[in-house]
Amino acid sequence: MKSDTQLRRDVEDELAIEPSVDGTAIGVAAEDGLVTLSGHVASYSEKLAAERCAARVLGVSAIVSELDIKLPGSSRVTDEDIARAAMSALAWNTLIPRDRIKVEVASGWITLEGDVDWHYQKAAAHDAVCHLRGVTGLTDKITLRPTSVGNAVKAHIEAVLSRRFGKRLEHISIETRGDHVILRGTVASLSERAEVERAAWTTPGVCHVNNNLAIERKSKSLAR
């Protein structure tokens, strides 16, 4: 396992090479796999990019984001302008069902409400508006319409994981309760944890995924 100092440096280096992030304005602290990001960024989009940078570094098991958004003068727009831009972005996105999602904006913070049939549609709605100019944050209240997932949920997820990882992941258990999927076990990284969750969301009828997967930790004695 990496030392705290090495992990901090690795996250700083990852931020430094990401062109969409100004790493000089972001502070990084690391302790036992927990990484804290502090400082300020120029947009909500940059905040998300910084968090993704930290998440893909090997050894990071959790992230605390304390990043403040300081919009430059040229990026300040009214809530009405943001709402119109958001509704237009949703309407023009072919992945998102029409007239199913409502938009509210307060002080640059967008709230999405409504329902869709698939998780990818929910993700597409989030991505369609989170990068708009002037956005300071986003609350996603979009729900999935419940349907019966049947008895083949576990087999479906295991087949997807086998195709993506090339083997059966013995260290992961999959439990289903109605339209809920519960994931337990250990994975090697945050990126692998996210990939397993994405596989669960591809199952027709799944409305909730409880991702309880832990990041595998190795002894620090080997790194010091």
Q: What is the pLDDT of residues 168-210, one digit of tens each?
A: 677 888 888 878 889 999 988 888 899 899 888 888 778 889 9
Q: What is the pLDDT of residue 224?
A: 44
Give me the mean pLDDT over the 15-41 stretch.
95
Q: Which amino acid is at 27?
A: G
Give me the mean pLDDT over the 142-158 stretch.
74
Residue 223, pLDDT > 50, answer no
Q: What is the pLDDT of residue 217?
A: 74
Give me the mean pLDDT over the 67-95 stretch.
92
CATH 3.30.1340.30 fits 74-144, yes or no: yes
Q: In Å, what is the CA distance from 53 to each residue of 40, 94, 121, 123, 191?
A: 15, 28, 24, 19, 11
Residue 222, pLDDT > 50, answer no
Residue 160, pLDDT > 90, answer no
pLDDT digits (tens, 9 = 90+) for 98-140: 999 999 999 999 999 999 988 899 999 999 999 999 999 999 9
Residue 86, pLDDT > 90, answer yes
Give me the mean pLDDT over the 92-100 stretch.
94
Q: What is the pLDDT of residue 85?
A: 97
More confident residue, 201 or 37: 37
C-alpha to C-alpha distance for 165 and 191, rounded to whole angstroms: 13
Q: What is the pLDDT of residue 154?
A: 78
More confident residue, 76 or 69: 69
What are the domain boundaries of the chain? 4-70, 74-144, 153-221
Q: What is the pLDDT of residue 165?
A: 79
Q: Which of 33-37, 62-66, 91-95, 155-159 has the lowest mean pLDDT?
A: 155-159
CATH domain 4-70 topology:
Histidine-containing Protein; Chain: A; (3.30.1340)
Q: Do domains 4-70 and 153-221 have the same CATH topology?
A: yes
Give me the mean pLDDT over the 7-26 stretch.
95
- DSSP string covering the chain: ---HHHHHHHHHHHHHH-TTS-GGGEEEEEETTEEEEEEEESSHHHHHHHHHHHHTSTT--EEEEEEEE---GGG---HHHHHHHHHHHHHH-TTS-TT-EEEEEETTEEEEEEEESSHHHHHHHHHHHHTSTT--EEEEEEEEPP----S-HHHHHHHHHHHHHSS--TTEEEEEETTEEEEEEEESSHHHHHHHHHHHHTSTT--EEEEEEEEP---GGGT-
Q: What is the pLDDT of residue 92?
A: 96
CATH code of the domain occupying 153-221: 3.30.1340.30
Residue 150, pLDDT > 60, answer no
Q: Which of 27-36, 112-121, 143-152, 203-212 has the lowest mean pLDDT?
A: 143-152
pTM, to two decimals = 0.70
Q: Is 191 exposed, middle or buried (0-12, 13-18, 19+ CB in 10 A)?
A: middle
